């Protein structure tokens, strides 16, 4: 009997014990004699069943005056297109069903319905999204113990081991995400972003998906707690008969407002069907938080390695250290952060990107295959927003927040460099038209598309790569991000104004200060302005303006025609309306004008409009 079988048997015994105790105590409720009573008695068990969910309609119409030339099938995109539905695996109707047989045991499942409208006779899709989940808990004087098993659970251990990056909340909110709520007040979504610096997120925010067995204990004696998990993350998928599992856990000690924990995660699979060629990773860390009067010190330290048939399992360091100073000391909150992640540390389940090792996927191929799950993260030397970490990089991050009257200002600065030079490519994004650009390619996540085969689609976005013709070195990165927010009134109606500016550069070596000049391999500037005006009590008028400027130097790949480097300009203006139709029902309309061109690469250009209509109902 293997470990997985033992875990499943234990969880089944745990669940049956809790369920049988409840059935014994409630036997009287199912007495046939109750059937003749007037009025009828409702069985208590039915009161513990709940159904909730949402319906979401999304339609998009695009009219492109200039469109990318179809250099391959994945690039084919007609100048005019009507598309109904969301091709990002988001269903139109979701039902969440939950039941609680006893106070300590619960189960949950879901049902989704989806019509991609591709013209196929089997176009109607239905099924389970997260599967059937079982959760059981039991409280004793020694602590509370719980078991989670079944379908997919959203969970987190520590940032380096098992978690998703939450960043510093510097982003545009003009385009709605599929998981965004419909608020009781039509302006609430924007006011919460102004007040709190973050939108209301769903249960998955900052967590990763996990399928398998989770056992944890809370409120143990002496402030201890623990967690153990064994199964699969989204990177352990596939149908191969060979072992393909992830095991992780932590032991934590709390004291006062501080804590320290020991964490571990290990993934192991095989490249061959005979289970001889193993690949995977190990990572061991310690996370901590120490609070003093006006200073908090928090972070995570660890060692990790990656092993495969072609890579030796050498261990490397992982370090993320933050010092946070409260407003009482300086008059404003300040964070100083140092990070260093070795190129030998690989873990796609953590908060950092893998930019050092091309991994294998479960189909015995390279992750270069279009549509591979691992290609959803930028590879090579990535130009990322402040707070998004990558391996093979070390650096310093500064963040400060300022508030005065109804104005808020946050500023971030980052200076970092690669630990060793590995790649001759730089990857970067186009924020002004990022979501609209990703809809040029429907169904899947193709790589190496576009007129010059240097665009890669990711989830709700696209990133581009540029090749360096200089000798490979440990490149340096500098970033400045500014976010300004203001709340005021015009004609007695509330208006919220947001500005986001980001300035990045990549040069040959580390520099403590940015080099916005031809000395940089790449310079990226983007500005985004948006405001939200309460036109009527149930109607919000929204506006957006985005501007991208990306300039490469002579040490990058030149155009074969103009013999000059990349010189790109992107513009975008959009207008929208939010209607609160009824309680928990909203209608959201967006219309975007977009224009983009590279002065030196003549085929790299597009111009057109896109209109989207979203109807969302929660129940």
pLDDT band for position 395 (cuts 50, 70, 90): very high
Residue 216 has pLDDT above 80, yes or no: yes
pLDDT value of position 229: 96
Cβ contact 448:454 at 8 Å: yes
Report the 10 Å Cβ neighbour count for 314.
11
**pLDDT in the model for residue 152:** 84
- Whether 566 is covered by a domain: the verdict is yes
Question: Cα separation of 269 and 244, whole Å?
Answer: 4
**How many structural domains comprise the chain?**
1
For 156, phi then psi, to 5°, come to -145, 145
Q: Which residue has the tokens 């609430």?
A: 188
Judged by average pLDDT, the poorest of 123-132, 289-298, 338-347 is: 123-132
Q: Which of 517, 498, 499, 497 is nearest to 507 (CA)?
A: 517
What number is the average pLDDT over the span 407-431? 94
- Give all strands of the β-sheet with 381-382 in edge-to-edge order: 381-382, 425-429, 461-467, 455-458
Tell me if 93 is assigned to some domain: no
- 187: in domain: yes
β-sheet bridge partners, residue 266? 247, 282
Which residue has better confidence, 373 or 192? 192
281 or 276, higher pLDDT: 281
pLDDT for 373 equals 34
Please indicate, yes or no, if residue 299 is contained in any of the structural domains: yes
Q: Residue 222 falls within a domain, yes or no? A: no
pLDDT one-digit tens code per residue, 547-588: 999 999 999 999 999 999 999 999 999 999 999 998 889 999
CB 600 within 8 A of CB 608: no
Among the listed residues 280, 286, 281, 234, the one whose alpha carbon sits nearest the alpha carbon of residue 259: 286
pLDDT at residue 34, rounded to an integer: 45
Residue 509 in any domain: the answer is yes
Query: How far is 589 from 578, CA to CA, in rounded Å?
Result: 7
Residue 114 lies in a domain: no
Q: How far apart, in whole angstroms, are the C-alpha atoms of residue 324 and residue 298?
A: 8
Nearest to 550 by CA among 428, 438, 368: 428
How far, in Å, are 215, 535, 616 from residue 582 at the CA level? 42, 17, 11
Whether residue 30 is predicted with pLDDT greater than 90 in this model: the reply is no
Q: pLDDT tens across 293-337, in order?
A: 899 999 999 999 998 888 778 999 999 999 999 988 888 999 999
Cβ burial, residue 35 (10 Å; 0-12/13-18/19+): exposed
Cα 92 to Cα 616: distance, rounded to the nearest angstrom: 9
CB of 351 closer than 8 Å to CB of 339: no
What is d(CA 205, CA 608) in angstroms, rounded to the nearest whole number?
A: 34
Distance in angstroms (rounded) separating the CA atoms of residues 277 and 542? 55
Report if residue 552 sits inside a domain. yes
Q: Is 481 helix (H, G, I), strand (E, B) or coil?
A: strand
Residue-range definition of the domain harbouring residue 371: 43-85+156-206+237-618
3-state secondary structure of 344: coil
In terms of pLDDT, which residue wins out, 483 or 449? 483
For residue 161, name the pLDDT band (cuts at 50, 70, 90). Answer: very high
- pTM (2 decimals)? 0.84
Q: For all residues of the chain together, what is the average pLDDT?
A: 84
């Amino acid at each position: 009997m293997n470990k997985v079988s033992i875990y499943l048997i234990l969880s089944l015994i745990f669940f049956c014990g809790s369920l049988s105790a409840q059935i014994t105590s409630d036997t009287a409720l199912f007495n046939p004699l109750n059937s003749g009573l007037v009025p009828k008695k409702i069985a208590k068990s039915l009161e513990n069943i709940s159904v909730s969910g949402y319906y979401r309609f999304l339609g998009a119409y695009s009219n492109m005056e200039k469109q990318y030339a179809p250099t391959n099938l994945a690039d084919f995109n007609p100048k005019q297109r009507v598309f109904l539905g969301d091709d990002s695996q988001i269903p139109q109707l979701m039902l969440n069903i939950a039941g609680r047989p006893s106070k300590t045991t619960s189960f949950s499942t879901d049902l989704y319905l989806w019509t991609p409208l591709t013209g196929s006779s089997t176009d109607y899709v239905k099924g389970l999204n997260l599967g059937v989940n079982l959760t059981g808990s039991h409280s004793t004087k020694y602590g509370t113990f719980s078991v989670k098993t079944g379908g997919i659970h959203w969970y987190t251990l520590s940032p380096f081991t098992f978690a998703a990056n939450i960043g510093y909340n510097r982003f545009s909110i003009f385009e709605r995400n599929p998981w965004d709520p419909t608020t009781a007040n039509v302006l609430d979504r924007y006011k919460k972003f102004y007040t709190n610096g973050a939108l209301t997120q769903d249960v998955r925010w900052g967590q990763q998906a996990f399928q398998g067995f989770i056992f944890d204990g809370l409120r143990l004696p002496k402030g201890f707690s623990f967690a153990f998990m064994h199964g699969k993350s989204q990177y352990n998928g596939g149908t191969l008969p060979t072992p393909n599992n992830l095991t992780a856990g932590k032991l934590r000690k709390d004291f006062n407002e501080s804590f320290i924990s020991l964490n571990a995660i290990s993934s192991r699979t095989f490249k061959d069907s005979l289970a001889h060629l193993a690949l995977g990773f190990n990572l061991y860390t310690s996370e901590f938080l120490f609070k003093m009067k006006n200073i908090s010190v928090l972070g995570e330290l660890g060692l990790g390695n990656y092993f495969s048939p072609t890579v030796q399992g050498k261990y490397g360091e992982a370090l993320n250290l933050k010092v946070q100073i409260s407003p009482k000391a300086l008059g404003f909150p300040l964070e100083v952060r140092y990070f260093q992640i070795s190129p030998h540390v690989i873990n796609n389940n953590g908060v950092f990107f893998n930019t050092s090792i091309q991994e294998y996927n479960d189909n015995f191929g390279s992750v270069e295959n279009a549509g591979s799950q691992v290609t959803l993260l930028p590879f090579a030397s990535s130009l990322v927003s402040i707070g998004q970490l990558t391996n093979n990089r070390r650096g310093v991050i500064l963040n400060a927040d300022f508030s005065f009257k109804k104005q808020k200002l946050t500023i971030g600065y980052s200076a970092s460099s690669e630990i060793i030079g590995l790649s001759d490519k730089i990857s970067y994004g186009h924020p002004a038209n990022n979501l609209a650009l990703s809809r040029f390619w429907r169904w899947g996540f193709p790589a190496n598309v576009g007129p010059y085969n240097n665009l890669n689609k990711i989830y709700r976005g696209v990133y581009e790569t540029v090749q360096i013709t200089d000798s490979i070195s440990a490149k340096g990165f500098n970033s400045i991000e500014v976010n300004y927010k203001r709340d005021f009134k015009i004609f007695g109606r509330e208006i919220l104004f947001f500005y986001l500016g980001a300035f990045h550069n990549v040069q040959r070596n580390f520099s403590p200060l940015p080099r916005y000049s031809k000395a940089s391999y790449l310079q990226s500037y983007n500005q985004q302005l948006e405001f939200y005006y309460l036109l009527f009590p149930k109607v919000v008028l929204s506006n957006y303006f985005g501007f991208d400027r990306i300039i490469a130097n002579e040490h990058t790949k030149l155009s074969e025609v103009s013999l000059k480097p990349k010189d790109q300009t992107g513009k975008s203006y959009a207008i929208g309306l939010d209607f609160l139709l009824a309680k928990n029902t909203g209608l959201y309309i967006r219309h975007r004008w977009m224009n983009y061109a590279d002065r030196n690469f003549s085929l790299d250009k597009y111009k057109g409009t896109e209109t989207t209509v979203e109807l969302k109902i929660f129940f």
